[in-house]
Amino acid sequence: MTSRLDGRLAVVTGAASGIGRCIAGHLALAGARLLLVDRDEAGLMAAQRDMPGATVLVLDIADWGIDGPLTSALDGENPAILINAAGLFPSRPILDLDEPHWDAVIDVNLKGAVRMAQLAARMMRDAGRDGAIVNIGSVQSLRPGAGKAAYAASKAGLAAVTQVMAREFSPFGIRVNAVAPGPVLTEATRVAIEAAGGKPGAAPPGVAQPDEIARVAHFLASDAASFVNGAIWTVDGGATLSR
């Protein structure tokens, strides 16, 4: 089996930056055609410059009514791959939680991912072709840290829903898996490290590079993972084993 994706249409959410943008780059190099989705228009334009030929869609996936804009952007085509990489990861102690914080995180990380998967799976099913959905979760769903109540809940929910999707979509030839990264050196993480006095550009021990997550997502989206379904792939250098 090959990891080539020549001609396949891949929808990548959270594609303006971080893990999503890195995954999109991997899929492009493997020959996929891309629809890049994010609510950050400037970031999407920059990503498109790096991936000539990609189509972009400025969209907030927290809005349930995304079917119209998504269908228009696809212009009659059906995706073969969906990467759900959009996500928010703020911190707040439970005693300080308020409804806007909770809703914002759950709406993007869980509701938005489920809605995107629902729409993509319907298109894959109706087209009568095999497909792959990869949800980007987090080790916080397994080993949540202080201040991460909303985030951990959203990612734990996404892990559970990934396995429900795998059961429900498999009769249509659609595989659904998730990647659960530990800390990743995205631009947001880099800023936080430097703000805390860390060395500019340096990744502390135990922090992955986005490319290390993207390689796993690319594998799961490809035919090389043809018998992988309903799996949650932890990518954290073994850190959860020592806790």
Q: What is the CATH number of the domain that holds 175?
A: 3.40.50.720
Q: Which of 151, 169, 219, 233 is an active site residue?
A: 151
Residue 1 lies in a domain: no
Residue 81 lies in a domain: yes
Predicted local confidence at residue 1, as pLDDT: 61
Predicted local confidence at residue 152, as pLDDT: 97
**Residue 186 banded pLDDT, cuts 50, 70, 90:** confident
Residue 55 lies in a domain: yes
Domain count, the chain: 1
* 117, pLDDT greater than 80: yes
Residue range of the domain that includes 164: 9-231
**Residue 240 banded pLDDT, cuts 50, 70, 90:** confident
* 201, pLDDT greater than 80: no
Measure the CA–CA gap between 32 and 28, rounded to whole angstroms: 5
Residue 239 lies in a domain: no
215: annotated active-site residue: no
Residue 145 lies in a domain: yes
Predicted local confidence at residue 192, as pLDDT: 64
Residue 242 lies in a domain: no
- pLDDT (mean) for 138-150: 95
Q: Report the candidate in 177, 167, 173, 181 with the shortest Cα–Cα distance to residue 213.
A: 181
Predicted local confidence at residue 58, as pLDDT: 98
Considering the entire predicted model, what is its pTM? 0.95
Q: Which phi and psi (to 5°) does residue 219 adopt?
A: -55, -50
Extract the tokens encoding 230.
């309903």
User: Of 77-81, 113-117, 148-152, 193-197, which gets the smallest average pLDDT?
Assistant: 193-197
**C-alpha distance from residue 142 to each of 4, 107, 161 (Å):** 31, 20, 15
Q: What is the mean pLDDT of the chain?
A: 94
Residue 240 lies in a domain: no
* 194, pLDDT greater than 80: no
Predicted local confidence at residue 196, as pLDDT: 62
Residue 149: its H or E element: helix 149-169
Residue 43 lies in a domain: yes
